[in-house]
């Protein structure tokens, strides 16, 4: 534990510059006296750590001092090679930088670790894109990333419901999030913070105007809260259903939120394994299409309006398939049948 903390202190001083004993103590959740002892041990080991007194003082490394990454253990080095996502890096315009950084990291490792670290990249590939989705063309993404990094205002035109805005809007870009292979920009618009799908952002331009990043804004915390609110707000209806064992298995077609509510509301299975539970739906119209994906493995018990709508839709589909197809692609009623 001590060796790990000493190395972490060294890396923090190298990356952040001057840090006070109180800041270091808070970082590692130890006493200030412990930090002073750690600094003494680093100095004894030949690390050029200097103490500066005064209100703005603290500990810092000698100017120009850099350490090689010889403190990495095998698992840490392998994890760093596993963490690089070439696809998203290329979308951000950082493919060359990522490749160079990996080469520098490899060169900094001790010889005995280099071969094993290279094996990680050869044996594991992280594909953030979901199935049956091609990679979005995102010409504006590098511009957006640049504005996020430099805290500069963005002027963009956004597309909603297939229509691109005629007039541009100005956004204060706070961060980028990659979820399920899709990039989202989290930005402040006026006094509110919203999420924008990057593929719908057009004609992005970086403004000369800078903005003050909210001091307490945490991108991860904000995104997790936004995801929970979106998932809770998108479903407006509930279906009371019975599911066969196969139907329970097929619920993954409807997504994890539906699966979670089904599990939370499921009753005891009957003798044939059917269970009664509730499923969240965005609307009755959308719900009918979703429930029909489960076929005969689901029976809708309520609400009555949903049952009636599902029955009417199933009847129309059955009638279309009972009639024989015409050469023009429509259907022709069977002899004796009444066309409606």
Task: Encode pLDDT of 38-55 as tens digits.
Answer: 888 888 878 888 888 777
pLDDT tens digit string along 174-191? Answer: 998 888 778 899 999 888
Query: Who wins on pLDDT, 13 or 15?
Result: 13
Is a pLDDT exceeding 70 seen at residue 327? no
The band of 76, judged by pLDDT with boundaries at 50, 70 and 90, is low
Q: Has residue 293 got a pLDDT over 90?
A: yes
Inform me whether the pLDDT recorded for 291 exceeds 90: yes
Q: How far apart are CA 241 and CA 250, in angstroms?
A: 14
More confident residue, 146 or 113: 146
pLDDT band, very low/low/confident/very high, at 77 (cuts 50, 70, 90): low
More confident residue, 298 or 329: 298
What torsion, rounded to 10 degrees, do the Cα atoms 272, 276, 277, 281 define? 90
Question: 280, 263, 318, 327: which is closest to 296 by C-alpha?
Answer: 318
* Exposure string over 222-247, b if 16+ CB within 10 A, otherwise e: bbeebeeeeeeeebebbbbbbbbeeb
pTM attached to this predicted model: 0.57
Task: Report helix, strand or coil for 30.
Answer: coil
State the pLDDT at residue 16: 76
Quote the pLDDT of residue 246: 94
Q: How far apart are CA 287 and CA 241, in angstroms?
A: 12
Q: Look up the CATH number of domain 2-61.
A: 1.10.10.10
Mean pLDDT of the chain: 80
- Domains of the chain, by residue range, sit at 2-61, 74-123, 141-217, 235-322
Yes or no: domain 141-217 corresponds to CATH 2.30.30: yes
Please say if the pLDDT value at position 106 is more than 70.
Answer: no
Q: Which of 97, 214, 192, 81 is nearest to 145 (CA)?
A: 97
What's residue 60's pLDDT?
Answer: 85
Determine the Cα–Cα distance for residues 30 and 97; give it in Å rounded to an integer. Answer: 37
pLDDT for 98: 63
Answer yes or no: is pLDDT of 206 > 90.
Answer: yes
Has residue 66 got a pLDDT over 80? Answer: no
From CA 160, how far away is CA 200, in angstroms rounded? 8
pLDDT average, residue stretch 110-120: 66
Instruction: Indicate the Cα dihedral angle 306, 312, 313, 314, nearest 10°.
Output: 110
| Predicted pLDDT of residue 5 | 78
Among 30, 33, 27, 1, which Cα is nearest to 15's?
A: 27
| 303-320 average pLDDT score | 92
Point out which residues pair with 58 in neighbouring strands. 52
pLDDT digits (tens, 9 = 90+) for 220-257: 899 999 888 887 778 888 999 999 999 999 998 888 88
Residue 340: pLDDT band with limits 50, 70, 90? very low
Distance CA 145, CA 139 (A): 11
């Amino acid at each position: 534990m001590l060796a790990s903390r000493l190395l972490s202190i060294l890396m923090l001083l190298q990356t952040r510059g001057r840090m006070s004993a109180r800041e270091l103590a808070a970082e590692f959740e130890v006493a200030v006296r412990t930090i002073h002892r750690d600094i003494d041990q680093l100095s004894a080991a030949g690390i050029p750590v200097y103490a500066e007194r005064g209100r703005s003082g603290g500990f810092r490394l000698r100017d120009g001092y850099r350490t090689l990454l010889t403190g990495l253990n095998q698992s840490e080095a392998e994890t760093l090679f596993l963490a690089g996502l070439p696809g998203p890096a290329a979308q951000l315009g950082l493919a060359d930088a990522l490749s160079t950084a990996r080469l520098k990291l490899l060169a900094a490792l001790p010889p005995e670790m280099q071969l094993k670290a290279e094996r990680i990249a050869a044996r594991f590939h992280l594909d953030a894109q979901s199935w049956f989705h091609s990679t979005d063309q995102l010409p504006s993404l590098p511009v957006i990333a640049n504005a996020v990094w430099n805290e500069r205002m963005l002027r963009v035109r956004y597309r909603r419901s297939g229509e691109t805005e005629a007039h541009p809007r100005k956004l204060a870009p706070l961060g980028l999030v990659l979820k399920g292979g899709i990039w989202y920009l989290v930005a402040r618009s006026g006094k509110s913070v919203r999420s924008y799908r990057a593929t719908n952002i057009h004609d992005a331009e970086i403004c000369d105007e800078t903005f003050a990043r909210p001091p307490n804004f945490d991108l991860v915390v904000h995104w997790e809260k936004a995801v929970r609110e979106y998932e809770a707000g998108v479903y407006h209806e509930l279906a009371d259903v019975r599911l066969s064992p196969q139907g329970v298995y097929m619920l993954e077609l409807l997504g994890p939120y539906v699966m979670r509510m089904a599990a939370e509301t499921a009753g005891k299975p009957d003798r044939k394994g059917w269970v009664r539970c509730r499923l969240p739906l965005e609307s009755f119209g959308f719900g009918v299409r979703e429930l029909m994906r489960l076929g005969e493995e689901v029976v809708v018990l309520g609400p009555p309006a949903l049952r009636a709508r599902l029955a009417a839709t199933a009847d129309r589909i059955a009638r279309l398939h009972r009639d024989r197809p015409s050469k023009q692609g429509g259907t022709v009623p069977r002899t004796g049948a009444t066309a409606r």
